[in-house]
Amino acid sequence: MNTSKSRRRVAAAASMAMLATTALAGCGGDSGGGTPTLTWYINPDVGNSDASKGGQATLAANCTNASGGKYKIKVELLPNSASDQRTQLLRRLAAGDSSMDLMSTDPAFVTEFAAAGYLAPVPESMQKNFTEDRVQSSIDASMYKGKLTSVPFWANTQLLWYKKSVAQKAGLDMSKPVTWDQVIDAAKKTKTNVGVQGKLYEGYAVWINALVAGGGGKIVEDPSATYENIKLGLDSDAGKKAASIINKVATSGVGGPAIGSSDETASLTLFQSPSGGFLVNWPYSYGAIQKAAPKVAEDVAAAVYPRTDASHDAAPPFGGIQLAVGKNSKHTDLAYQAAECITNEKNTTAYMVASGNPSSRKASYDSADVKKAFPNGIAAQIRTSLDKAVPRPLSPYWGDISGALQQQFSPPSKVTPNTPAEAQKFILDVLKGKALL
């Protein structure tokens, strides 16, 4: 694949990273002799850098102890936003930072890193272990050009959360698939809100992609194509239906008072309020509600993501985290051994219970602890949704595509039937260097 265009796009990031070469070099590696230290760049979770909370820092400590002195793992915390996580990792990778031993990476960006040649090959001898007992959507997100380029860690998917009292009042039968139009109408009827992510960030691109995919369409027709030959499917019936739903949520008032600045946290807060009725968000939401508003949690249930239209199955967003190893790591073999420990059944199951982030391992969903953490059939709903989940396009240009998509669809209240066509043209112009983000 011709990656010259992709490499030119990260040149600025690489230059910025090179200005901080000294700082980067100090972030990882060994102090000379002794037990090798692996640096694991983690996304924020329930524990952040605190190893006592059950998050990734806990797994780092567990696997350090289990290694028998082969290696030590220290964690470095990445920013909150997936977009900011991508930027930091990309800068370090482009600068050849040798501390990139392990990276918790959004699936949408693993492909970009792999296409640019920034990742260490996954050992052939470990690939069976890294794919067995994994949900298929997580395996698919770890592949690039038919090769495994990262390790499935946790597999995320959005659910439709609802208050049972609100659905009952609206006369909405949640035992059957529901459409976005039905959910919006139910919220209007009960004068409640629908929590969504409409802020100018990656979460908004997740929503747009789910709507397009749920209408039987694709934002990118062939994710493996080079930028010269890439074909987009936004300017389509599915794209127009997606635009109409976004506009309806935003202009009908059900999206809340600040849909244009709503992210996962803001939409969850809206749902927990007295005006909350429905919410699309990740599984961690249930644990957060239990902790912040236990009385509200008693009224909360979950269903499969809403359908874009009644004639197509829903396409729940696929997210989660893959573990990637940088090609310039001084300890790639040890890094993959650590990844094997981090992603074993015991650790991924315990991590799901503690963090609320679903395991990529099928066996985890049979665990009594998981069923207790996600009661009332929610664990089963997560597992079902993962089988239906659709990732964002696994294109090496997704970073640019996503940024352009967000711009053209913002603010949500200004989205029109013409927005998909305008966005498609702008994305193509950006990819071909005719327009700037």
pLDDT tens-digit series, residues 125-179: 999 999 999 999 999 999 999 999 999 999 999 999 999 999 999 999 999 999 9
The mean pLDDT of 75-95, rounded to a whole number, is 95
Dist. CA 46–CA 84, nearest whole Å: 19
Confidence (pLDDT) at 149: 97
Confidence (pLDDT) at 86: 94
Instruction: Report yes or no: 262 and 250 within 8 Å, Cβ to Cβ.
Output: no
Is 46 a residue whose pLDDT tops 50?
yes
Instruction: Report yes or no: 184 and 254 within 8 Å, Cβ to Cβ.
Output: yes
Is 292 a residue whose pLDDT tops 60?
yes
Instruction: Report yes or no: 362 and 134 within 8 Å, Cβ to Cβ.
Output: yes
The mean pLDDT of 386-401, rounded to a whole number, is 94
DSSP H helical segments within 104-228, as ranges?
107-115, 127-131, 136-141, 164-170, 180-190, 202-214
Confidence (pLDDT) at 108: 86
Is 420 a residue whose pLDDT tops 90?
yes
Confidence (pLDDT) at 206: 97
* Burial class for 22, CB neighbours closer than 10 Å (0-12, 13-18, 19+): exposed
Query: Quick check: helix, strand or coil at residue 326?
Result: strand
Instruction: Report yes or no: 254 and 183 within 8 Å, Cβ to Cβ.
Output: no
Query: How would residue 32 be classed by pLDDT, with cut points 50, 70 and 90?
Result: low
| Mean pLDDT over each residue of the chain, to the nearest integer | 92
Task: Please work out, in degrees rounded to the nearest 5, the angle formed at the alpha carbon of residue 398 by the alpha carbons of 132 and 321.
Answer: 35
At 85, the amino acid letter reads Q
Confidence (pLDDT) at 126: 98
Tokens of residue 265, six digits: 């946290």
* Burial class for 410, CB neighbours closer than 10 Å (0-12, 13-18, 19+): middle
Instruction: Report yes or no: 135 and 26 within 8 Å, Cβ to Cβ.
Output: no
Instruction: Report yes or no: 167 and 372 within 8 Å, Cβ to Cβ.
Output: no
- Matching residue, tokens 């109409």: 244
CA distances (Å), origin 265, targets 205, 215, 410: 16, 27, 19
Q: How far is CA 305 from the centre of its chain?
A: 15
Confidence (pLDDT) at 21: 37
Is 11 a residue whose pLDDT tops 60?
no
pLDDT digits (tens, 9 = 90+) for 164-218: 999 999 999 999 999 999 999 999 999 999 999 999 999 999 999 999 999 999 9
Q: Which positions ≥6 away from 6 have C-beta within 8 Å?
A: 112, 115, 116, 227, 396, 397
Tokens of residue 341, six digits: 């420990």
Confidence (pLDDT) at 81: 87
DSSP calls for 221-274: S-TTS-TTT--B--SSHHHHHHHHHHHHHHHSSTT-TTGGG--HHHHHHHHHST
